[in-house]
Amino acid sequence: MIWLAMFVSACASDGHSPSQGQPTATTTLLPSPKLVSTVQAAPSTRQECWFSWASQGLPDLSEQVEKEIANTGITNATVGASAYGEECQSYDTNAVQYFTVEQTDFHITVHVDNVSDQATLNRDILYILRVLKNFPPNKAPGPMPGEVFLSFVSDAGEAHVFGNYRYMMDALAQHMDGQGLLGALQR
């Protein structure tokens, strides 16, 4: 299921000018270093357990993605990557025996001067998705495409865009120049 929404709340104009020192169209991305997962793989022998959905933070991946986003010129972003999957919990003790990763989800928050500045949001989304393109399923933990949650926050309001990784990458492929990217993700 793909969820996509855009919420903009602008209670009052904050009077700020567009961001200074924002990324330019000449920004280039370097190849990503290989990700080393800290998530434990399922054992090869069957365990007696019950399963429950769970998430585990991926601090090393979060830091890596945040650095790559900063390399594009977006220096006011925070990234939280997490592995989503199933925990095998012992019938006897309820202790977690292992965690099986289904997908990696990305939660990215960017502080902007004006959430109504469509050009800046399009550009920032373009640069962020170009970075995330380097972390497809199986390079980031998990075989399935996860969810991408983008939040743009200013003193005057917030804008949120979210959807499945594959959907976001399809939108990126159709709007490589960034123009209309935000509109495509709102559909």
Domain ranges, residue 154: 58-82+104-186
Name residues whose C-beta falls within 8 Å of residue 153's C-beta, 6 or more positions apart in sequence: 109, 110, 111, 112, 115
Asked whether residue 32 is domain-assigned, the answer is: no
Asked whether residue 48 is domain-assigned, the answer is: no
Asked whether residue 142 is domain-assigned, the answer is: yes
Asked whether residue 128 is domain-assigned, the answer is: yes
Residue 180 confidence (pLDDT): 77
Asked whether residue 119 is domain-assigned, the answer is: yes
Distance CA 141, CA 65 (A): 14
Name the domain count of the chain.
1
Going from the first residue of the chain to its last (187 residues), give the mean pLDDT of each consecutive group of 10, the final group possibly shorter: 33 35 32 42 68 96 98 96 95 91 97 92 94 95 96 94 94 81 77
- Tell me, what DSSP letter sits at residue 87? E
Asked whether residue 3 is domain-assigned, the answer is: no
Place of tokens 């594959």: 166
Check which CATH number belongs to the domain holding 112 and give it.
3.30.70
| pTM for the structure as a whole | 0.73
Q: Please report the sign of the dihedral spanned by the C-alpha atoms of residue 35, residue 145, residue 103, residue 109.
A: positive
Residue 27 confidence (pLDDT): 29
Distance CA 161, CA 149 (A): 6
Residue 175 confidence (pLDDT): 83
Asked whether residue 123 is domain-assigned, the answer is: yes
